[in-house]
Amino acid sequence: MTSAPSAPHQRDGHVDRSDTPLSVDQLGPDVVEIELPADPAYLGVVRTACAGLGARLDLTLDEIEDLRIAVDEACTLVLPAARSTTPSTAVRLRATFRVSDDALAVRVQGPNPALPVETSYAWAVLEALAGDVSSGVEAGGSWISLAHSRARAA
């Protein structure tokens, strides 16, 4: 007779899985996706999510604030330059956060079809605050990806 694996133990907000076999679902990073109207008024939601997930990685307050600023800047860059006077639910901003044991990756997608060149001041700010930055243009808009790892911070 075999016994069922024991439940993970939680200590100080961290789950101890050392005695629990890992399933396929546990091997990959956690993914959080937020979709909002493409309006700067909603950027506080994305910044707050970024801060909460950064805290989950035990980042310092300075690192969390740097990430919040970088994500805010990235969101601003993928939003359209001029806001329409009539709100549209069809124009969306999407932020996808991937949290692993030692890194936080963020991809923001928005309706702006043009991004600044990689030699611009905005791009320099993103790289200084987040480290790994990439971007692209796709049908319907553009995206920017940022990544921060604890190894980079050390």
Summarize pLDDT for 43-59 with one digit per residue, the tens. Answer: 999 999 999 999 988 89
* Mean model confidence pLDDT for the chain: 78
pTM for the model: 0.74
Summarize pLDDT for 88-103 with one digit per residue, the tens. Answer: 557 899 999 999 888 8
**Which residue in 40, 94, 96 sits closest to 72, CA to CA?**
40
Q: Which CATH superfamily is domain 29-153 in?
A: Histidine kinase-like ATPase, C-terminal domain (3.30.565.10)
Token representation of residue 115: 């991004």
Say if residues 114 and 20 touch (Cβ distance below 8 Å).
no
At 14, which helix (H) or strand (E)? Answer: strand 14-16
